[in-house]
Amino acid sequence: MSFFDAVKSFYEEHIKSRLTSRVALLFVTGLCLAALFIQYFRRSDAVPFTEVVGTVIVPFQRGVNQVGSFLFNTEQERRTLQEANRRIRELEEELAALKNENEVLQGLGSENEELRKLLDAKERLTYTSVEAEVIGNDGVNYFERFTINKGTLDGIRVNMNVVNQDGLVGLVTETGLNYAVVTAIVENGVNVSAMTRNGHENCIVSGSLAESGRNRLVLKNALLDVDLEGDNTLVTSNISDKYLPGILIGYAYDVKPNADLLTQSGMVNTAVDFTRLKHVLVITTMKEKRMEEEG
């Protein structure tokens, strides 16, 4: 190879390729500068290009904005829903607390009303008495035998009469230092000598197992000429050996003549509701002592 051939080969391999790249770069740079120059001095000539850009870019940008707005609104709704659910839970808890408080207040109001009536009954009694609270019950839903929170330390003795604001409850049948057991008049086999409020002939009212739980007594041995339809209010009679006279027992109904045509029998609705006893009065005056005082 000659000297000229070697020079030509070196030029083509090393210098020509570099010159071509530089020339191309310079050419593109010049075109860009020319475009900027034309854009600056001849803005009206660039309108078609601007329109093309607006046609393509603006809708795309609008779509992006809509998507962004949708995502933002969705997130805001989610947060609002969470806040609403949280507030609903708080209101439900507040409502439950208010309901409980209202029930407690109603219970206290009912108990206060019962105590007020009990105190009124105590003031009306011609006998001395001690207030007591029911703390135990031998039955399930019925107070045939129950325990009170007063005992011998409070002056309670066996055979003392027990009443509440409505009428006769029963007798004290067992005592301890700080408690006493009361047997109600609805207990099976308990007999109470009764008479009408107007003082007509005596009769017997008895607790019955068959009528237990119904606030009922069985009426027996009333003379046929006693008008128990017009005078159906029964109170304790003055011939009872344990019960003080004049205490309301209940109201006679469904009275029918017996086969002997001399007496009549029926049923008695007790004045006291034996399904809900909370407070009672124990009359500390006893029948034997009263009879001695009157004698």
pLDDT digit string, tens, across residues 166-194: 999 999 999 999 999 999 999 988 999 99
Q: What is the pLDDT of residue 3?
A: 47
As beta bridge partners, residue 256 has: 265
| 278 in Cβ contact with 169 (< 8 Å) | no
| Domain boundaries defined on the chain | 129-294
Q: What is the pLDDT of residue 32?
A: 65
Residues 6+ apart with CB under 8 A from 287: 159, 161, 240, 241, 242, 243, 244
As beta bridge partners, residue 220 has: 204
Q: Give the tokens for residue 286.
A: 């006893």
CATH code for 129-294?
Answer: 2.40.10.340
| 204 in Cβ contact with 186 (< 8 Å) | no
Least confident segment among 46-55, 255-264, 273-282: 46-55
pTM: 0.60
